[in-house]
Chains A and B, each alone.
Chain A
């Protein structure tokens, strides 16, 4: 199972909105609602930001939202803040009853 494709880096200024894409295939992202997004600061445990494409766990800022169209899922961060600077990974259920992470995106706040 190949990793889902994400842009290596995305940047934005404070207050701006950015979108991180996650492209898979009809065997994963395109066929299932079990797509999640994780924020990972180096040296710390990953944090669940979005699950089942659009759901936000309790305690996660509503500046984070998710969507999906075809084989591509997206994480949108609005009102970008310095604390949002981190690595972000998508994850999807697959047709072989396994899960696959994306390649990861480094978000930089300018």
Chain B
């Protein structure tokens, strides 16, 4: 069974940093692209970032480009999202999700999701 478990969320001041982790199990980690998607309070889903199976390519939404960095560690089966220069509008529940295709490429077809980690940016 595929499992994705996010951790690292919490309260941070504007301008601060936070690193989210997503521990994966139940599938061949390096074969699947992974992504981060967030849901802001009372709003819809927003795609944040993605990384290919072997980590050779990364993608970012314009709203986080230059501030967030996605990475993966195949030795730990873990996905990361380093969030710097955080702003109030980054407050959201952050989900990690797995691509349905085992090609390693990213197509935006996310068939398994974690339960989410809440990030609150406030002074």
Q: Is B53 close to A, CB under 8 A? A: no
A residues at B contact (CB < 8 Å): 1, 3, 34, 36, 38, 40, 44-48, 51-52, 57, 87, 89, 91-93, 97-104
Instruction: Give the interface size class of chain B.
Output: 20 to 34
A45-B116, A98-B61 known; A34 vs B109 contact (CB < 8 Å) = yes
B47 touching A57, Cβ below 8 Å: no
A46 touching B61, Cβ below 8 Å: no
Counting residue pairs across A and B whose Cβ atoms lie within 8 Å, the total is 67
A93 touching B108, Cβ below 8 Å: yes
B residues at A contact (CB < 8 Å): 37, 44-47, 50, 59-62, 95, 97, 100, 107-111, 113-116
B111 touching A92, Cβ below 8 Å: no
Q: Give the nearest-CB partner of A60 in chain B.
A: B111
Q: Which of B44, B108, B114, B115 contacts A99 (CB 8 A)?
A: B108
Interface centre among A45, A46, A91, A101 (most CB of B within 10 A): A45
